[in-house]
Amino acid sequence: MKREMLINAALMAGLLVVPLWAWAVDEPFTITLATRVAILALAAVGLNIALGIGGLVSLGHAAFFGIGGYAMGILASHAQTYDPIMQWPLLVEGTKVMPVIWIVAVLAAALAALVIGALSLRTSGVYFIMITLAFGQMLYFFAISWPAYGGEDGLSIYVRNDFPLLNTLDPIQFFAICFALLALALWFSARLAASPFGLALNAARQTPQRVEAVGLSPFRLRLAAFVLSGAITGLAGALFADLNRFVSPVMFSWQTSGEIIVFIILGGVGRLYGPVAGAALFITLEHFLGEVSDYWHIFLGLLLLAVVLFARGGVIGTLAGRKVAHD
């Protein structure tokens, strides 16, 4: 366990040092890449609450990622044009203030997770994987054919949203915001995993009967985890939209859901910092392999295959050694 903590600390330090170094030598694109890692890791930290602790393999988390993204896109585009979102029964205006956008994104994603979770959690196993996929696809097709907010073209926001006292257009300051939120989410999920709720959730994954025997409802535990999980992924979606200054239905696609899962598995399932390691590795590979060959997907595929077949604990598992039940 000691060793894993060291690795985790090194990971976070690395994610902090690389952009600082890039900032010092004026290499803004490296900062952008690091920001991307932090945001995608945040999305996967969200999924990891459902998947890692609760054992709920959701192939539909792109739904929450996209809802977060569209919360940002819709609010900011209305603020950009000074066109209120609705005037009746009460006046709702758009906004360019990040914390407000985040709250809306989190609430919207949590609400969606509540509805999707309440229906999906009636099933389990493969059926759960597939029904979450179905909900993701539903939203994907809806976003494509919904003309009000750009349909497949998506929505472009010309200037990044504001955060009090910071200049978000400066890459390093925006990175700092994303990194802080990632650290907060990691701290939160560590606390959650160690809390009575986390322990009960973990127990519900392993032996649901025992949880029921002490009077807890596995369904409610899982639903609560699913809602928290969706909310964090929704927050990541809002940040991702701000990073790109753009949202589109691609955020809802099943490939996005697949990639979020890939981050977790690359990093190591059930490892708290697995998403960070996985996202960092994925982005680095994408960056370098893409330069090597037009057919780099083949190498990415081979590497993923190798991780599943031969390095079962992912990056952290391989480095930290044998997997302990949960941490």
**Whose Cβ is closer to another protein: residue 95's or residue 257's?**
257
315 secondary structure, DSSP code: H
Those residues whose C-beta lies under 8 Å from the C-beta of residue 169, and which sit 6 or more positions away, are 159, 160
Sign of the Cα torsion 306, 310, 57, 32 reads: negative
**Whose Cβ is closer to another protein: residue 188's or residue 296's?**
296
Reading the block at residue 141, the tokens are 């097709």
Those residues whose C-beta lies under 8 Å from the C-beta of residue 161, and which sit 6 or more positions away, are 72, 76, 96, 97, 98, 101, 168, 242
- Taking the complex as a whole, the smallest distance from the CB of residue 154 to another protein amounts, in Å, to 5
Residue with tokens 């939120």: 181
- Taking the complex as a whole, the smallest distance from the CB of residue 90 to another protein amounts, in Å, to 26
Distance CA 159, CA 320 (A): 42
**Whose Cβ is closer to another protein: residue 151's or residue 184's?**
151
**Whose Cβ is closer to another protein: residue 290's or residue 321's?**
290
**Whose Cβ is closer to another protein: residue 25's or residue 90's?**
25
- Taking the complex as a whole, the smallest distance from the CB of residue 149 to another protein amounts, in Å, to 11
**Whose Cβ is closer to another protein: residue 191's or residue 220's?**
220
- Taking the complex as a whole, the smallest distance from the CB of residue 209 to another protein amounts, in Å, to 13
Biggest CA pair distance of the chain:
60
- Taking the complex as a whole, the smallest distance from the CB of residue 310 to another protein amounts, in Å, to 9
Beta-ladder partners of 300: none
- Taking the complex as a whole, the smallest distance from the CB of residue 46 to another protein amounts, in Å, to 16
**Whose Cβ is closer to another protein: residue 149's or residue 188's?**
149
Distance CA 242, CA 157 (A): 8
Asked if residues 327 and 198 have their Cβ atoms less than 8 Å apart, the reply is: no
Reading the block at residue 281, the tokens are 């590795």
**Whose Cβ is closer to another protein: residue 195's or residue 217's?**
217
Beta-ladder partners of 155: 247
- Taking the complex as a whole, the smallest distance from the CB of residue 271 to another protein amounts, in Å, to 13
Distance CA 131, CA 53 (A): 20
Exposed (0-12), middle (13-18) or buried (19+): which is 76, by Cβ within 10 Å? Answer: buried
- Taking the complex as a whole, the smallest distance from the CB of residue 29 to another protein amounts, in Å, to 4
Distance CA 84, CA 1 (A): 53
First to last CA, the chain: 9
